[in-house]
Structure 1
Amino acid sequence: MNSPVAMDALLSRLFSSEEEELYILDCMAYFMVFMAACTFVTLLFENIPYGRYATSRYGFPVHARFAWFVQELPAFFVPVCLVAWTSSSKTSVLPNQLLIAMYFCHYIQRSLIYPFLIRGGKPTPFVSFVLAFVFCIYNGYMQIRYLSHYAVYPAHWITHPCFIIGSVLWLVGWLVNVHADHILRNLRKPGETGYKIPTGGLFEYVSGANFLGEITEWAGFALAGHSVQCSAFAIFTTVVLASRAVAHHKWYLAKFEDYPKNRKALIPFVF
């Protein structure tokens, strides 16, 4: 039995019909939106326990590079398996291919490149590490199973304003995110420790330039993908990363007396 047939047979044992699996994928997306709402309320009272906000309450520390690599890897590995080991005509349709390519472009960089560029980095609490790992499995399956097997777009979708604008937003967001990460990695010279004020790029306008880039990226992905699955991911990402941006902004203002007072948290000149 070849791999696509084997994977399809496995999935057919889990779901009695394609209609049932699509219903489950929709439920997963709505549950993610619900979790985004719960996370929003929680983050009003406490910062996400990672990096400079990590505490021993959330488990023993996991080495930063190891944590980033392992927790992000399922977001790449699970979709690779779904695309390579399932038989579906959707992966030969151009809009589906382009959306899947957007997803992989982000996670190839985030899971296979970014972790090995980290210089130092604060350890990640075990609970945060596990939650990120589970989320990457959950979201990776939901996004790519839907795009590779169920998403149906009209033939002219790649010329639709939603797809064009969404794709441009995705690309701009991805470039901003990668550039901001580059700036943060190079804040300290070899041998230096401690925090410094980031400068350059969008950091001249906001404290969370890297977060703004990723939020823009997945908002564009949601607009181009035009599905509840893509939108749920964008909503969850926005809730989590906007909270981080606000927390970082407050932290910078409290730590550095000379921190630029005209710099905003997330949206230039606004917020």
Structure 2
Amino acid sequence: MELGEPQVLDALGVLMGVSACVTFVILQKLETSYGRYCPPKIRWGLPARLAWGLQEMPSLLLPLLEWVRFGDQLRQPNALLMAMFAIHYTQRTLIYPLLIRGGKPTPLSTFLMAFMFCIYNGYLQSRYLSLTEYPDHWTTQPHFLAGSSLWLVGMVINIHSDHILRSLRESTETGYRIPRGGLFEYVTAANYFGEIVEWLGFALAGWSIQSSAFALFTFCILLRRAEHHHRWYLKKFKDYPKSRKIIFPFIY
């Protein structure tokens, strides 16, 4: 039996979910090189600002392309969900890179993996939201209201936490300090916590295999990175607050 595009999108969503679980297990033993964990000299790398802007770009351009093609046909729930996705990647693609201070070069391999993921996920989310017809009353459902609220709260936490991290150093500095303020008083990876909350809200509002797979993938990757950061801070700073959890306030 030949599969239609909706069935293919479901299969791609399931594949992303399975890949998230596999990656979660692999990262327990293998830590990838990025940021502070990169070797002093990188043979093949891109400047941090350029790498961030380019690697996130597909997740902005693909929804915009779908909007140009089908925007006048999108129901209100579809348009709102696509806007949520595009707003995040507008900030990540066009604003966040310009605010980076003293970022280390990004290894080419790390950049390519992120770029390919953004192509995959950008297509998956935007195409699903173009094809699926959400009912008009979807935006009044409790899970959409709760999810969109979580998405907004998570995005604010993520952006504010990134601001705190940038403020730790002057434009000419390259060292590291202990983050203070905001949710950093409770967890090591406040910025990651915000992003997990953001995409959990998106998944709750969209209520689909595709959005849920993305939220799961985000959780698996960022949880492992948060654990990596937490170990690094404890090792580097003897006065690092022992009461701080890794990523979830008061829990873990």
TM-score range (shorter-chain normalised) is: over 0.9
Choose from 75, 79, 103 the match for 2:63: 79
TM-score (norm 2): 0.95
Aligned counterpart, 1:254: 235
Aligned positions of 1:1-271 closer than 5 A: 20-55=4-39, 60-86=44-70, 89=73, 91=74, 93-150=75-132, 152-271=133-252
Report the equivalent of 1:8.
none
The answer for unaligned runs of 5 or more in structure 1 is 1-16
Q: Is the 8 A contact 1:55 1:125 kept in 2?
A: no
Contact 1:51 1:124 in 2 (8 A): yes
Q: If you compute each CA radius of gyration, which structure gives the higher value, 1 or 2?
A: 1
C-alpha separation between the residues in 2 aligned to 1:73 and 1:87? 20
Q: Deviations over 1:185-235 (max 9, x none)?
A: 110134333100011110110000000000000000000000000000000
- The percent identity for this pair of structures is 53
Provide the C-alpha distance between the structure 2 equivalents of 1:195 and 1:246, rounded to a whole number of angstroms. 17
CA contact (8 A) 1:51 1:123 kept: yes
Go from structure 1 to structure 2 and tell me whether the alpha carbon gap of 1:58 and 1:237 turns closer, same or farther (over 3 Å shift).
farther
Tell me by how many angstroms 1:80 deviates.
Answer: 1.0
- Given that 2:189 and 2:247 are in contact with CA atoms closer than 8 Å, whether structure 1 keeps it comes out as yes
| 2:101 alignment partner, SS class | coil
Aligned Cα root-mean-square deviation (Å): 1.8
Q: Report the 3-state secondary structure (helix = DSSP H, G, I; strand = E; otherwise coil) of the residue aligned with 1:44.
A: helix
Q: Which moved more, 1:74-83 or 1:164-173?
A: 74-83
Query: Matched residue pairs, number?
Result: 251
C-alpha distance in 2 between matches for 1:221 and 1:195? 32
TM (normalized to structure 1)? Answer: 0.88
CA contact (8 A) 2:56 2:118 kept: yes
Segments of structure 2 that go 5 or more residues without pairing to the other structure are none
